[in-house]
Amino acid sequence: MHDVVIVGARVAGAATALLLARRGLRVLVVDRDRYGADTLSTHALMRGGVFLLSRWGVLDRIVEAGTPPIRETHFDFGADAVTVGIKPAHGVDALYAPRRTVLDRALADAAMAAGAEIRYGVRVTGLLRDESGRVAGVHGRDRAGAAFTARARLTVGADGTKSIVAREAGAGTLRTGAGCGAVVYGYWSELGADRYEWFYRPGHSAGFIPTNAGEACVFAGVPASHLPRGDLRATYDRLLAVTTDGAGGRLARARPPGRLHTWIGRPGYVRQAHGPGWVLVGDAGSFLDPLSTHGITDALRDAETLARSASLDEFATTRNRVIGTTFDVVDRVAAYGWDLPRLRTDLLELSRAMSAELDLVAS
């Protein structure tokens, strides 16, 4: 019997485990994946995320892993461009974009150091319920096929977009987006990228995200319905050429990725956050299109908000309020229905929402 069982040991699950274990709760985390495995995601952190990693004492690990500090964001709109410095606020004077192999591992290690138990290779297949119907834990199987059961007072779904906890608990959908972008990305060497660079053209986007090992994650985005089938490499090269204009010759001089990753897209959503004996954090509870580069920060914020809330209702109210301000604007950006003036207005609104979020988590 545990106080809390968490399904999913990545950013949402490991961070929640870290904070609840530090509060003295007996926490068990299970994940079907391996410790330190990569996942389908670029990984640009926003201010709120960096602030929380710093507050929890995890940022040092990210820096020690050679993750470069990012001190500027450059927005390229084709006809003009804007560079915004990262103004120090709440002790954050740089952003970071650690590979998920670095970030998820650092959070899992911190959770285990705080006393949480993490079991990898366990696939949850359903929820346990008590006589009243209240969720009372999970059941599943380990890699060897052995049955697995864990009872707990609270079951946390941190199991991503296809959350089995959300499905089995019957979490309702509060909001569904209409915008839906597809993304192709890979890791470049010798690109000379030392800041976030976001490129926007009507119907296209791209980004350079400096990360570990001297590499930059370079993505190209289009509306999901416009992702061409066929030769992925040719598509990626063409999208980057159209959207970045070759980035002043830098792409031609850099070493391109050996492997590409594709996200075919899904619309954003907000699910009911909790019910008797269960709660959802991270992508299990809400999902914004990746073009927001905000999902990891959302997941860390959920962990912090849940650990601080006096009740699950309070957690849900805070989460819904914060997402309420960003959901519509991200949905519009992800729909690619914008012209550049409209996009700039939306990006400014998003930036204001992110500042408000930082104030909230830092308060």
> In residues, how long is the chain?
363
- Examine residue 295 and tell whether it contacts ligand FAD (CB under 6 A): yes
283 near ligand FAD, rule: CB under 6 A: yes
Q: Are 150 and 26 in contact (CB under 8 A)?
A: no
Residue 290 sits in the site that holds ligand FAD (CB under 6 A): yes
Shortest reach from residue 18's CB to ligand FAD, in Å:
13
How far apart are CB 77 and ligand FAD at their closest, in Å? 20
Question: 237 CB contacts (<8 Å, ≥6 apart)?
Answer: none
Cβ 362 to ligand FAD, closest distance in Å? 18
Q: Least CB distance from residue 159 to ligand FAD, whole Å?
A: 4
Q: Please list, in sequence order, all residues whose beta carbon lies within 8 angstroms of the beta carbon of residue 294, skipping any fewer than 6 positions away.
A: 46, 288, 326, 330, 354
What track of x and - describes contact with ligand FAD for positions 60 through 99 (by CB under 6 A)?
----------------------------------------
Q: Which of residues 255-274 bind ligand FAD (CB under 6 A)?
A: 263
Q: Smallest distance from the beta carbon of 249 to ligand FAD, in angstroms?
A: 25
Question: What are the CA-CA distances from residue 349 to residues 47, 51, 314, 325, 326 (Å)?
Answer: 15, 20, 25, 9, 8
Rounded Cα gap, residues 101 and 16, in angstroms: 18
Going by their DSSP bridges, the two strands 72-76 and 196-201 should be labelled as parallel
Residue 123 binding ligand FAD, by CB under 6 A: yes
Site for ligand FAD in 178-217 (CB under 6 A): 183
- Which pair of tokens denotes residue 45? 């952190």
Q: Total residues contacting ligand FAD (rule CB under 6 A)?
A: 35
Q: Is 159 in the site for ligand FAD (CB under 6 A)?
A: yes
Site string (303-342) toward ligand FAD, x via CB under 6 A = ----------------------------------------
Rounded to a whole number of angstroms, the minimum distance from the CB of residue 33 to ligand FAD is 4
Closer residue to ligand FAD, CB minimum distance, 181 or 277: 181
265 Cβ neighbours under 8 A, 6+ residues apart: 180, 181, 182, 183, 224, 227, 289
Shortest Å distance, C-beta 320 to ligand FAD: 17
Q: Which helix (H) or strand (E) holds 29?
A: strand 27-31
What's the closest the beta carbon of residue 79 comes to ligand FAD, in angstroms?
Answer: 26
Say whether residue 299 binds ligand FAD (CB under 6 A). yes
Other CB atoms within 10 A of residue 192 CB: 13
SS3 of residue 350 by DSSP: helix
- Kindly identify the residues of this chain, within the stretch 20-59, that bind ligand FAD according to CB under 6 A: 30-33, 39-44
CA distances from 54 to 49, 57, 94, 95 (A): 9, 5, 11, 11
Nearer to ligand FAD, 249 or 291 (CB): 291
Q: Does 296 bind ligand FAD (CB under 6 A)?
A: yes
Amino acid at 192: G
Q: CA 139, CA 156: separation in Å to the nearest integer? A: 13
Write out the residues near ligand FAD by the rule CB under 6 A: 7-13, 30-33, 39-44, 123-124, 158-160, 164, 183, 263, 282-284, 290, 293-297, 299
